Amino acid sequence: MFRDILNSTDRAAQFTIHPFITSFSHHRSRANQTRGVKIPDIHPGTELLVQKKIVQQASQSVTTSTKVDGIDNDDDGDGTNIKTDQNGAYTFLPADAFSMIAGEFTEAYNTTEAKDTFDCVATVFFIDTASNILSYLETIANVLKTGGVWINLGPLLWHWEGRGDKNKKKHDHSLKPTHDHEHNHEDSSEETNGHSHDHDHDKAERIEDEPQGSVELTLNEVVALVEQFGFKIEQRRTIKTGYIEDDLGMLKWDYDAEFWVATKL
């Protein structure tokens, strides 16, 4: 889905999906349940063309790992995916300004090849998926160039908390609602309070892949570690936000998510 939106859409609100049609709880009316939603809300190519400078520097300052099958990504040799339609209007396939790699974050980016390759890293509802936040901080520091910017937004609903306790029931409604936001996992095998609690993997494989333990820190401790890893926090505030919810439904979860902008020194 991400690849299609990134490289195969022509404009914002191009397609209509019906995200609530298979869920029958917490709807005020059938019309709300069956209503369509236009996607994408923002067209990546249009946003990247707002400033010509972004397009010109895309292939020089940002690493890409996503290509479109069957498309010549650089017809004119200028290092960007800029195209013109039959009317001469510019379109832009922004694969050269994004990176998408299927896999575990630290394995993909905490490498010698990835060191000092990005000007910016954005993490949204992400850092609490770590079994050990130190490995994520090390990876983010590894990929950012000196002077690079890290933008973060999200809560600290530690994804692996309690999963090492085999005596704990996974489908316990006393558990906290979880936001299932690991990469490339779309469905869940179990749910708690309407929020995904497990990924749709083979159970044996999932147990084998799960960490043997996890570290759950407070916000103050995480922020202190961010600074210890060589970052200077330029901006920081708390933002109240939901996570993958129906704004017209009868059930909503609110997070006091922490937002910061940090510079790698």
- Structure confidence by residue, pLDDT tens digits, 234-247: 999 999 999 888 99
Tell if the pTM clears 0.75, that is, is over it: no
Q: In which residue are the tokens 């309070």 written?
A: 193
What is the band of 152 on the pLDDT scale with cuts at 50, 70, 90?
very high
User: Whole-number mean pLDDT of the chain?
Assistant: 75
Residue 124 pairs in a beta bridge with 153
Domains with residue ranges and CATH for the chain: 101-265 (3.40.50)
- Give Cβ neighbours of residue 226 (< 8 Å, ≥ 6 apart): 137, 233, 260, 262
pLDDT band at 256 (very low <50, low <70, confident <90, very high): very high
Please write the tens of the pLDDT for every residue from 179-225: 554 443 333 333 333 344 343 334 434 444 666 778 999 999 999 99
